[in-house]
Amino acid sequence: MSFEDVRDHLDRTEVVAVVTTRAGGQPVATPIWAMVVDGVPYLRSAYGAGSWWYRHALSGRPVAIALGDGAVAERDRDAALDLPRETVHMTYVLADDPVQDRVDEELERKYAHAPRSSIDPTRSEEARAATLRVEPAGA
DSSP string, 28-70: EEEEE-EEEETTEEEEE-TTGGG-HHHHHHTTTS-EEEESS-T
Q: Evaluate whether 137 touches 62 at the Cβ level (below 8 Å).
A: no
| Whole-number Å distance between alpha carbons of 100 and 98 | 5
Residue boundaries of the structural domains of the chain: 3-136
Three-state DSSP at 120 gives helix
pLDDT value, residue 1: 74
Candidates 92, 86, 94, 31; CA nearest to 62 is: 86
pLDDT value, residue 71: 86
pLDDT value, residue 120: 87
pLDDT value, residue 139: 66
| Whole-number Å distance between alpha carbons of 74 and 8 | 21
In order along its 139 residues, the chain shows pLDDT tens digits of 789 999 999 999 999 999 999 999 999 999 999 999 999 999 999 989 999 899 999 999 999 999 988 889 999 989 999 999 999 999 999 999 999 999 999 999 999 999 888 888 889 999 999 999 999 997 6
pLDDT value, residue 56: 94
Q: Is the domain defined by 3-136 classed in CATH 3.20.20.70?
A: no
Which residues, in sequence order, are CB contacts of 121 under 8 Å at separation 6+? 46, 47, 127
